[in-house]
Structure 1
Amino acid sequence: MEILAVMVAGVLVGATVFPARLKGLNEKLTLAATALLIFSMGVLLAGRDAFLEELGTVGWASVLFCLVPVAFSTIAVYGLTNLFLSDIARRPAGPRVAAAQD
């Protein structure tokens, strides 16, 4: 939980307080910190005694934690697109689009 709090604080500081001229440096530091976080998580997992035995269970749990949000996000985007952008699909193509299709 502390990791998430630190990451949210970093995003807020980067978006509001951090000077725009140092944006490139901020992006590089963020990438390095994220890589270090992923590496540290891998080291912690690999350090477990029963890691190989737990890998099957952890793998399926990870697949579910990935696929369920992706499925619901896709459904939400599809529904919201149909709700708010359906009139755009019904509009006739403009002269530039018609010329490009010819």
Structure 2
Amino acid sequence: MNVYSRIYNSAKEQGMSIKELARKAKIGENSIYRWKTIKPSIQSLTKVARQLHVSTDYLLGQKKESSKSFRLDIADKNTQLLYQGQEVPEKYIKMLRFIMEEDKAEKQKN
């Protein structure tokens, strides 16, 4: 599997098209399509990997991880949380943080 195929499959798993992914990663809309035949720049590949929540090593075929193995901490305010490929609004992330803090406080009481 090549770079383009890994990107395509990861984007599809997250409900995104290649063009949508490119827009979200803030690279040219057709850039990723060109990666079928040319190597991407490190900067562009890094932007795409971040958007897909995978490592550049995975996209380059050097690791077998997939986007499903990615873990994130919702306490990190720089984390972009997605649900079915769509960004979760900040108000819902705040609710999740509140619920988790309440659960933590309850466990500390017991």
Q: TM-score, normalised by structure 1?
A: 0.25
Please identify which structure carries the higher helix content. 1
If you compute each CA radius of gyration, which structure gives the higher value, 1 or 2? 1
Bigger RCO (CA 8 Å, 6+ sep): 2
Q: TM-score, normalised by structure 2?
A: 0.24
